[in-house]
Chain A
Amino acid sequence: MLFSSIPFLYYFLPLVLITYFAAPKKLKNAVLFVYSLVFYAWGEPVYVFLMAASILSAWGLALLMDRAKTQKARKILMIISVIISFSFLAYFKYADFFISNFNAATGLSVPLLKIALPVGISFYTFQIASYTIDVYRGNTKANKNILDFGTYVVLFPQLIAGPIVRYVDIADMLKNRTHTLSKTAYGIQRFCLGLGKKVLLANTFGELCSIFRESNEKTVLFYWMYAAAFMLQIYFDFSGYSDMAIGLGRIFGFTFLENFDFPYVSKSITEFWRRWHMSLGSWFRDYVYIPLGGNRVKTPRFLFNIFVVWFLTGFWHGADWQFIAWGIFYGIMLVIEKMWLKKYLDKAPAALCHVYTLFFTAIGFVIFNSVSIGGAFEDLKGMFGLAGIPLAGTATLYYLKSYAFMFIIGSLLATPVVKNVLKKVNSTEIGGKIIAFAKPLGFAAVLITVTGYLADGSFNPFLYFRF
């Protein structure tokens, strides 16, 4: 089920809110658990059993780990649990990738499995793995209550598109959390903000990307418009989803960590990755990069560590070579920055650093959104005028004119400018009063407009559902 859908907003959400707030404290997790399973089963009825198997195995093995007497036994149990979790991911997400590459390498024709990807499997696998590893490391105790642990894994606000919530961050909240007017009001506003980002902005930029893909007219300018539109689409799509998750979590008493921090204002690729999908970046840092030795090793080993992490980051996003290329691309960029470019960037004018970062981010996302490695090269050739295409054409100019204001709005909202202006206005007495009155009405207007978009049955895919 999508957050940005009529069934969620006007059927599921009212029901879960009524039941949750009517339930006594000790039953609140049970309510969330049951509703989260319904939420998941709505899109993936059969995969609920896979989810149950993942929960049971991780929960049981963590309990055994707690009771194990030797460190070696604990380690074996941790490895078994991680292998089980990642086996599911490998089978359902990556089997066909391995088979098709095996076929290509050997000339054989092993049939593809063609299994539908369980929604959110990449997210909940990482959550389960973080729990298992943290129990092994002694960062947290194993949860003896299957319902509480199950609630952590299937909690619908962050189940299918993150942020990747670590057990240690919400372990206390699973047992004991408070519900206040301020949390609920903040949650509502954050949810509406995310909903607006997703439906009003991301989907509209997504339409332009689809128009570009379907158009017979390919021009240099249209390629760049597509690159810019996709950058804005993926940002508003994913950060919008994170806002909705954080907002819903807050309504139910949970505080999830932030996942985005205006990444497009970054002045380097290194900074960009500190602001983009922060929960994934920190997961790889804590569970892969640092265990491998991080940067406190000799240069060849450091390079190896970086490339392992960025290979895996790319591969996590999709079982295809263009995702791996995208990850490696960032690995290369980060190494270049760390070993050579950083000293120049530190001294360069801020505007130049922004242009540099946006340029390489655009290149990265064009690779990311291509259909294949070959497709990525075609797109890049188109962007740089190497495909023998004109600079502009009728359709290009029409869509440039049509989307001009959207690009301005999108670019502004992708920076903290509006947020900072509102903050400044809010700090004055009159401004504060106006904002206090207007803010709820503004969010109501967003909800009404979003409902209009949804009732019209418009274009509404979530990009991060495929991960």
Chain B
Amino acid sequence: MKKKTEYIYTIIVAAVLIFGLSIFAVLKPADDFSESERRPLEKLPELSVKTLLSGDFMDKFENYTNDQFPLRDTFRSVKALARYYLFGLSDNNELYFADGHVAKLDFPINQESLDYAASRFNELYETYMKDKVNKIVFSVVPDKNAYLGEKNGYPQMDYDYMIGFFEEKLPFANHVEIFDLIDESDYYLTDTHWQQQEITDVAEKILVSLEARPFEDFEEKVATENFYGVYYGQSALPLKPEKIVYLTTPELEHMTVLNYETGLKGGIYNFDKLEGKDPYEFYLSGAVPLLEVTNSSAEGDRHLIIFRDSFGSSLAPLLMRDYSKITIIDTRYLLPNFIGEYVDFEGADVLMTYSTLILNDSFILKK
């Protein structure tokens, strides 16, 4: 190739890329929402003398151009693939890919977070449960690092320490250890959560502790075959969608769920959520501060109160057979002071179940 041809070729390649993407970026209509990252995208900031002089316009404009860049998800995949396969890095944005799963690094133990969580749980006990409730069960839900980390060479937190810590700090509870009942195949490949159809044994073990019975038989149904979990977008890897399967019984189908925040009643499974930003919210409508489930099929009038995070959403339905009322509380969104206004703890059974992800980053729990 002659030198002149080489120069022209270089200039044309660069010009096509820079000017092409530039024109594309300017002409492309702004998107409102990123499906893959499950977040609203930055809009063109307001241009004024004030925003210019303060530098606000420039800061926001950069966020806007990053968010609205054409083929952004494809470019993010380029980055993820470059980090994994070109530079040999083990993780991208702290996410790693192992045994077909995307998982997030979460280590080491954050002692401050564990102390904070233990304080919150003790406060709940002292305020609402002491000398009132029937049984209290505490169960730590493992994240999938517990199964994927060590064998694939990724560091993980000291789970035994965490379990031991809460056993010591929460002496009022009966601690149910469920780590041995699970393995990595029980989790979604692209999501942080476990799959409901894989955790019936977990529910049974907890129910033994509560002296309650599991449902005799579940019917397995597919809610969607097009589920991209939360790690799908974050990892920016080209991964396939998964199925969301749910377990149901005639009793579960007849239960009603009151959402205190909206005042609306619905069912255990919220099919509207399958079209939303996080289809996992299909289980008990996802992140809701306070729910009350009425089970008219239950024999007697036992009351179960569940303090939980998102893992509890898919677990809770499996525990409901013997309880006529099930109250589900998420103190990430509900101030503990207000719980007494809505929930009567007298004679109730209490399950406190939180994932290691929340316990190791617990400052989200309200005080």
Contacts and interface: CB of A to CB of B under 8 A. Distances in A.
B7 interface: yes
A453 B79 contact: yes
Given A448-B78, A453-B79, A10 B108 contact: no
A388 interface: no
Interface of B is mostly: helix
Contact of A9 (B1, B18, B87): B18
Interface string B25-41: 11000000000000000
A398 B89 contact: no
B78 A188 contact: no
A447 B14 CA distance: 9
A244 to B, nearest CB: 14
Interface string B59-80: 0011101100100100111111
Nearest to B12: A440
Interface stretch (A132-140, A222-230, A364-372, A400-408): A400-408
A297 interface: no
Contacts of B87: 200, 204, 405-406, 409
B232 to A, nearest CB: 15
A148 interface: no
A11 B65 contact: yes
Contacts of A45: 52-55
Given A10-B25, A11-B22, A449-B82, A402 B90 contact: yes
Contact of A394 (B53, B55, B82, B108): B108
A185 B76 contact: no
Contacts of B136: none
B9 A440 contact: yes
Contacts of B3: 182
Interface residues of B, number: 51
B14 A440 contact: yes
Contacts of A5: 62
B7 A181 contact: yes
Contacts of B61: 7
A349 to B, nearest CB: 32
A217 interface: yes
A440 B76 CA distance: 22
A56 B6 CA distance: 43
Interface in B148-205: 153-155
B17 interface: yes
Contact of A440 (B13, B93, B108): B13
A448 B86 CA distance: 14
B66 A433 contact: no
A445 to B, nearest CB: 9
A192 B14 CA distance: 9
12 contacts: A6-B69, A14-B19, A200-B82, A394-B107, A398-B155, A402-B91, A406-B89, A451-B69, A455-B66, A455-B69, A456-B80, A458-B79
The 5 closest A-B pairs by CB, nearest first: A405-B88, A452-B78, A452-B79, A402-B90, A185-B7
